[in-house]
Structure 1
């Protein structure tokens, strides 16, 4: 693992966005739900009061009979951000929001992963690269 970035400046200047090729959807299953049936095909599973939320590839969701609404692409921010670092999510979501791009950020142990509408993924990448370049020059 690389060095942990903790300051907003370090996280943003080092974020190095990478657009994943897969197309994903967010799906949900109400309780009771046998989560083990979905683990192999889900990129992420989160239990909420209303049921189980999952992120799946479009093909996995289709094979399980889930509706395919709002296809999204994942942009992995390659910076190793500290779990207690402050400012990366706000900067990324704020920059995308300014352009009218929806953003759902999943923070994992090593990286943050903004999910953006498939139709605007390339535009989102341009915005995030510009944000990183600006942070490097500050």
Structure 2
């Protein structure tokens, strides 16, 4: 099952879910020093370092540095990796509310990390985007 490609269907049926917790982005040289890799939500290897995203409580326990505390929103609709326009649509809806977003496209869903203080406002903007498609 490769997911939905039609933007209108994606927007009409997306269900944004605010996941519990606080999440942080940290950098490390390599994954070898991580006590429990299962605690990492995701990682991405860049030229400069490895970026990891994990719950703030775990980063604090491991004494990792971070500067941005975020909330995590999952768009519960199986979007295709080939879908065109979904990221632009929700990024523009958030932009109108002056909310920055950091996006991760996984196989089944898109995930949005926004500043913790903007979580409720972001959820309202995403629900409004969905409702606008029903008109």
Q: Secondary structure at the match of 2:89?
A: helix
Q: For residues 1-138 of structure 1, what are the structure 2 equivalents within 5 Å? A: 4-30=3-29, 32-34=30-32, 37-137=35-135
1:67 Cα deviation (Å)?
Answer: 2.1
TM-score normalized by the length of structure 1 = 0.90
TM-score normalized by the length of structure 2 = 0.92
Verify the 8 A CA contact 2:40 2:53 in the aligned structure 1. yes
Q: Secondary structure at the match of 2:37?
A: coil
1:122 Cα deviation (Å)?
Answer: 0.3
Q: What CA distance in whole angstroms lies between the structure 1 residues aligned with 2:50 and 2:37?
A: 11
Q: What CA distance in whole angstroms lies between the structure 2 residues aligned with 1:81 and 1:136?
A: 19
Unaligned runs of 5+ in 2: none
Q: Secondary structure at the match of 2:11?
A: helix
1:68 Cα deviation (Å)?
Answer: 3.9
Unaligned runs of 5+ in 1: none
Q: Secondary structure at the match of 2:126?
A: helix
Q: Secondary structure at the match of 1:46?
A: strand
1:20 Cα deviation (Å)?
Answer: 0.5
Moved over 2 A (4+): 35-38
1:34 Cα deviation (Å)?
Answer: 1.4
Alignment coverage as a number of residue pairs: 135
Q: What CA distance in whole angstroms lies between the structure 2 residues aligned with 1:94 and 1:39?
A: 34
